[in-house]
Amino acid sequence: MVIRSSRPSHRSGGFAPPPTSSVYRNIAISFLGLALIVVIAALWVSSVYARVTVKTQKDTANLQTSIQLAKSPQPGQLQGRVVEGTFEKIQEFSVKNDQGTAVSTTVQGTVRIVNNYSQQQTLVKTTRLLASDGRLYRLDKTVLIDPKQSVTVTAHSDQAGPQYVLAKGTKLSIPGLWIDLQKWIYAETVDGFQGGQQMTKIVTSDDVTQAQKALQDAVFEQAQTTLKSEAGVGDDWQAVYIQKTVAADTNVKPGESSDQFLAKVKLDVTAVYYPSKDMQALVKQKLQEKLPEGHQLVGFNPATVVYKVENADATLGKATISITAQSSSQLTEKSGQLSKNLILGLTDTEAISKLMGIEGVENVDVSIRPSWIHKIPTSADHVDLIVQ
């Protein structure tokens, strides 16, 4: 057996020479450059922010429906109370015409009937007394005058007006007596006749209307207090009412003269009570059900809802109320259609086009920082979506 050994042979040139220091330097520089690029890219990505402002259109949601209320509600009904009663009030009102109107009245005064005749004389009520200028007056009652005596009695002018005023001591004849007897039996004024005109107020239709309106409001307020107590509900309940005017009278008519007058109002009032929070929640729910997908109610005001009693039965404790409501609606930031995830990574032009294609969007504005960037960041944390 022949055993051979081998030795490494040395070719021409031998082993490769070790790298020089310049090679290591170039590798280090390349690595640092790459790291710098990565850092710059990371800083760039983290510094890009987009602000997307979406202006949406406001639509109007309308609701016209009815709901049943009952003391012991069944499914689909709302809890309620129904009570009724009759209420009335009589009140005195003043006529509001402050200036007043001059009204002619009869003149009144006292006369002394003188009987210088030898026999007793009777003068009945309304016996005429005549002034020398033809003005006529009448006695207020029947009198009996003994011979050679006189009596006093009140009298008044036959017509109204200040021209019938008489001075004290004016002599009046009695034309109803025999002509020769008139010189023995006559009348004369004791203190003079006064009057003939007075300032009075005229009742107008506005006086009557306003009085009845004020009285009706007072009666209705009384009814509200009484019926609420009878229903036994708290302040968190509201009511819808039916008013029926049974009587509305005054003791004067428009055009009559009076400083004051009486007015009377009588009402039949039915009250339907319901819990306000439950009712508001129900109305909002029914309005929301009428909205397009993605829309939300905005600016809903419960005070604008109109309630009207369609029918009510206090005996059964049931009623039906019609509801008319209206509210604005629009897309909101809570809408899935306006999710910022829809536009991540898109260019500003693409984002605007995509958002404008959503029904209810009126305008879109995209602002990206830095300004020379035109692409929405891919991170949702770097995107602000504002819905107006």
- Determine how β-strand 383-387 pairs with β-strand 49-56: parallel
Res. 209: pLDDT tops 90: yes
Whole-angstrom Cα distance, residue 148 to residue 114?
A: 8
Please compute the mean of the pLDDT values over residues 285-312 and round it to a whole number.
Answer: 90
- Percent of the chain residues topping a pLDDT of 90: 65
Q: Is 208 exposed, middle or buried (0-12, 13-18, 19+ CB in 10 A)?
A: buried
pLDDT at 259: 86
pLDDT at 370: 87
pLDDT at 45: 52
pLDDT tens per residue, range 336-346: 778 888 899 99
pLDDT at 19: 61
Q: How does residue 6 score in pLDDT terms, banded at 50, 70 and 90? A: very low
Q: How does residue 31 score in pLDDT terms, banded at 50, 70 and 90? A: confident
Res. 7: pLDDT tops 50: no
The model's pTM is: 0.59
**For residue 223, what are the contacts with CB-CB under 8 A and spacing of at least 6?**
85, 87, 241, 267, 269, 271
pLDDT tens per residue, range 252-269: 999 888 889 999 999 999
Res. 36: pLDDT tops 90: no
Give just the sign of the alpha carbon dihedral 25, 31, 35, 40. positive
Please compute the mean of the pLDDT values over residues 14-36 and round it to a whole number.
Answer: 70
Q: How does residue 102 score in pLDDT terms, banded at 50, 70 and 90? A: confident
pLDDT at 237: 97
Q: How does residue 16 score in pLDDT terms, banded at 50, 70 and 90? A: low
pLDDT at 360: 82
Residue among 194, 191, 184, 192 nearest 150 (CA): 184
H helices, E strands: number in the chain: 4, 20
Whole-angstrom Cα distance, residue 49 to residue 71?
A: 59
pLDDT at 371: 84
pLDDT tens per residue, range 120-133: 999 999 999 999 99
pLDDT at 2: 35
pLDDT at 275: 96
Question: How many C-beta atoms surround the C-beta of residue 266 within 10 A?
Answer: 18
Res. 47: pLDDT tops 60: yes
CATH 2.40.30 fits 102-200, yes or no: yes
- 271-300 burial, b at 16+ Cβ within 10 Å, e below that, comes to bbbbbeeebeebbbebbbeeeeebbebeeb
Whole-angstrom Cα distance, residue 265 to residue 215?
A: 6
Find out whether 48 and 377 touch, Cβ atoms under 8 Å.
yes
Whole-angstrom Cα distance, residue 38 to residue 28?
A: 15
Q: How does residue 296 score in pLDDT terms, banded at 50, 70 and 90? A: confident
- Determine how β-strand 136-139 pairs with β-strand 81-94: unpaired
Q: How does residue 39 score in pLDDT terms, banded at 50, 70 and 90? A: low
pLDDT at 50: 93
Low-confidence winner among 316-320, 321-325, 328-332 (lowest mean pLDDT):
328-332
Q: Please state the domain extents for the chain.
A: 45-60+330-387, 102-200
Q: How does residue 44 score in pLDDT terms, banded at 50, 70 and 90? A: low
Please, which contacts does 68-72 make with residues 24 or more away whose CB atoms are closer than 8 Å? 68/318, 68/319, 68/320, 69/272, 69/274, 69/318, 69/319, 69/320, 69/321, 70/317, 70/318, 70/319, 71/317, 71/318, 72/317
Paired tokens of 112: 């002394």
